[in-house]
Every structure is written in structure tokens, then in C-alpha cells.
Amino acid sequence: MAQAENFTFVVSNTDVGMRLDTYLSQRVFELTRSQIKKLVQEHLILFNHLPSKPAVRLREGDVITGSIPSPRKLDVSPQDIPLDILFEDPWIIVVNKPAGMVVHPGAGIDSGTLVNALLFHCRDLSQINGVIRPGIVHRLDKNTSGVMVAAKNATAHHHLSSQFKTRQIGKRYIALVHGEMRELEGIIEAPLGRHPKERKRISIHTRKGRSATTQWRVIERFKGFSLLEVIPKTGRTHQIRAHLSSRGHPIVGDPEYRRGRWIESIRNPQTRDRIRALKRQALHSERLGFIHPRSEEFMEFNAPLPDDMAGIIQFLFRRNEEQHSEGKEGR
């Protein structure tokens, strides 16, 4: 966008009573709702030619005018960081993010992120999320590995963002948790918000929680552990980690949500050493499915378990087999 884009809307009777920011989010696809709110507050969007508030309610005949500023020059540097690319075309790029990689720059982090790598590889990413998060439509925690999709243009960004917002995206995670799940499957429905005392953590014990639903199924039970398939129905921050921890089954290797002496309680020294050597939470985004923004075809991508998680899981499977064999011999 070389110059600022201007727009004008006149409210019809079918939109009476709608919030200003909601109305615009359905018409100005280049902007997210948070960006619209910011432009209203900066008086770049006017309501009946006067400054207003994002929550103002519309009446028939109201006039809304605005200006979308041209994007600022990127202040994030491209970096030649290897990427495990699962798919790429002019609209999107799908990658297998490794554990330990931050998705985008933030406080104290301005290099080594997925965005730095994408800028070097693609050169053309959607600017909807600004100069810090170009192309990013969803995130994985730093120490969660697996499939991610990024948008290369505004149309793709809006299309994918809408799918995430309306929960059309298919997501499947693999998680190794402490403890043996009693049931074979279940659903956790508990609102999530910031922990009242520890701001880095998300908790079900919060005053302003947002609805969150996580579906899980046991793949295998081990002595002291469970391997789970996890399908988040919503996309809240730290959702899987916080939900499983709230049920007494924190993810193995998770420093934020695995409180207590979990590792010290593991009796087998080999198992204990392997768990201690894991430098991140044992959570992997194995599968991601969505509708392609151009072809409108459903696409699904899979990322195999990384070596660190696969090694621990294979070890636990062998331990299961050995214990089963010992049980047979003792009969």
C-alpha cells in the first residue's frame, strides 16, 4: 500500500445497534478489530465527522469515514535461519516450528524468531499484524513444536484469521503428561485468564476468564505418565498447558505449570534422567487443517514428533513392554 487508503460508509437500517468496531471489522478486511480500535482512538476513523469511541452504537444514516495508514517500514531484520517448510505457494507458507523458537519479536527479543526467518525466506508477508508480527495469524509457545501457517498477503490473512475466529481450523496436538489418566477420553471446559498472582501463568482461577474447551483422548498409559491426543476447540493462550495442569496432569517438562516435585517422585532412575534432560514441555502440534484462502479447498498438514519427544515416548513404550513381559513370567 503506497498511500493511505480512505473509506466512507453510511449505516443502513440492518446494522442499527451494532458497535462501531464490530461494523468496521466486517467491512474493512485489511484491519483487525484491535487495529480498528486503535485508529478510532487516534481519530483516524470518525463517526459523523467527529471523534468517537469503538463501542458507540450505530443508527441508520450515520456516516463513518476513515483512513488506513500505509504500513510502516519493517524494523525486524530478515535472518537466514533454516526452515522446515511443509508447503508454500503465493498465498501461504506452512512450516514445522522447532521447540525453542519464538514466533515473533517482543520484549527483549529482536532476532532468531520465526518472523525473522520468514522475512528472509519469503520477502512478502501480510502486513496486517504490523511490523512486529507480519504474516502471523496464530502462535505456538516458544517451547511447543509443530505445524504453523503464515499469510503472504492481506486476503490470505483475513481468510485464515476468520477461520481461527470461527473455530473452523482443525488442530491436533500430542502431549505427554504426568500421571495416569483414569478415563480414556474427556473434555475440559473451564474459562481461562491471567493468574491472579503470577502474571506469566494462565489459570482457571480468574475473575475475567474467557471460555475455553479442550478435548483429549488417551493414546497410551505408562507407569506414571499418559500419552494424549489433544484437540483444543478454542485457542486461548497456554490453553492446553493450563487445562491439563488444572486436572492434575501437567505436561512433562513444563516449568510454568508443573509445580511440585514431579521429577523427584519418579522412581526409575533412567526415566527420571530422560525427563530431566527434556528442555521444554512435551507438547507438539502434530496436525493443522484449514481451507486454502485462494482455492477454497480443505488442506491438512502433519509434522512428525521431534526427536526429543519421540525418544522419551519410545523409551516409555519399551518400559511398558518389559513390565508386561515380567508380569507374564511371574504367573
pTM (predicted TM-score): 0.77
Q: Which of 77, 64, 54 is nearest to 7 (CA)?
A: 64
In the three-class reduction of DSSP (H, G, I as helix; E, B as strand; rest coil), residue 130 is classed as coil
Q: Give the mean pLDDT of the chain.
A: 88
Q: What is the DSSP letter of 42?
A: T
189 vs 322 pLDDT, higher one: 189
Q: Are strands 145-151 and 283-291 parallel, antiparallel or unpaired?
A: parallel
DSSP H stretches of helix in the chain: 20-25, 33-41, 114-122, 154-165, 239-246, 269-277, 307-329
Identify the pLDDT of residue 93: 96
Q: What percent of the chain has pLDDT over 70?
A: 90
Confidence band for 2, pLDDT divided at 50, 70 and 90? very low
Identify the pLDDT of residue 194: 81
Identify the pLDDT of residue 132: 62
CB-count exposure of residue 221 (10 Å: 0-12, 13-18, 19+) = middle
Catalytic residue among 141, 254, 307, 308: 141
| Residue 87 and residue 49 in contact, taking contact as beta carbons nearer than 8 Å | no
Our answer to whether residue 21 is catalytic in this structure is no
pLDDT tens figures, 199-249: 678 889 877 788 999 999 999 999 999 999 999 999 999 999 999 999 999
* Angstrom distance (rounded) from CA 106 to CA 118: 16
Domains of the chain: 5-68 (3.10.290.10), 167-289 (3.30.2350.10)
Confidence band for 307, pLDDT divided at 50, 70 and 90? very high
What would the mean pLDDT of 17-36 be, rounded to a whole number?
81
Given a cut of 90, whether residue 301 has pLDDT beyond it is: yes
pLDDT tens figures, 108-156: 777 899 999 999 998 778 776 665 678 899 999 999 999 999 999 988 9
In the three-class reduction of DSSP (H, G, I as helix; E, B as strand; rest coil), residue 315 is classed as helix
Q: Which residue matches cell numbers 504474516?
A: 135
pLDDT tens figures, 280-300: 999 999 999 999 999 999 999
| CA distance readout (Å), 8 to 24, 55, 62, 64, 101 | 11, 18, 11, 6, 42
Chain mean position to CA 82: 21
First to last CA, the chain: 75
